[in-house]
Amino acid sequence: MTAKRTRALVTGASSGIGRAAAVALAASGRQVLAVGRRRAALLPLAEETGCQIAVADICDRAAMAVVLDGFAPDILVNNAGVGHGISGLDTVTATQIESAVATNVTATLNLTAAVLPAMRRAGRGHIVTIGSIAGLHTNISAVYGATKAALHRFSQNLRYELLGSGIRVTEICPGRVSTEFYQAAEGDPDRSAALGQSGIRELDPADIAAALLYAVDAPEHVNVATIEILPTAQAVGGVATARS
């Protein structure tokens, strides 16, 4: 097995997949720094797991520089994101589109760039980005899908850039997961509510955290590149038709 990477930074750790990732990584014996915007949600996480917490918006580069001061992760979990436009491009404002790109794409690239120098010096590290099947397949939401498609290409190209560095790059692309995602998504509230009611047994955040542990605990010579994970009751593909 690989020599265990011991220091993990998880963004978007206030709830959902990010919280589950922090719990799983802490339970595996790693030192975890959980970053999120809601102190009230992070405090119980710290009490439950013993992890460190930092209240910060990942779009705030100055705030994230403070977060990284004195904590050089050898695992970065890029999880924070927003679902603006999930109910349609015509349901969001220009400001919300800019926010989606800034949070889902720009902040992820900036944070990854900030941690890479220390990983390069160490000759090891692991960048894990939580993508989506919406970034791999034709799906709902032009805005959200576009940002997740950008993260897919980012992960693919970053892995190529880092070849020979000892740094691994993993992208995890979930389907439906039982989180606050649809409730928090910005757009038409009726459309968002309808999209949030799948009627199936969805994945749990812990299922995604288990996939994360599988990737980071793989032997040193193994890079789990892309994980596409769906509920048994969900599939992607097909051709849609509609009468105008």
Residues 17/210, Cβ–Cβ less than 8 Å: no
- φ, ψ at 140 (rounded to 5°): -65, 155
**Given 144, 160, 182, 214, the catalytic residue:** 144
**Is 144 a residue of the active site?**
yes
Q: What amino acid is encoded at 133 in this protein?
A: I
Are 99 and 141 contacting, i.e. CB atoms less than 8 angstroms apart? no
186, 144 Cβ separation under 8 angstroms: no
Q: How many Å separate Cα 44 from the centre of its chain?
A: 21
Sign of CA dihedral 115, 117, 123, 129: positive
Active site residues: 144
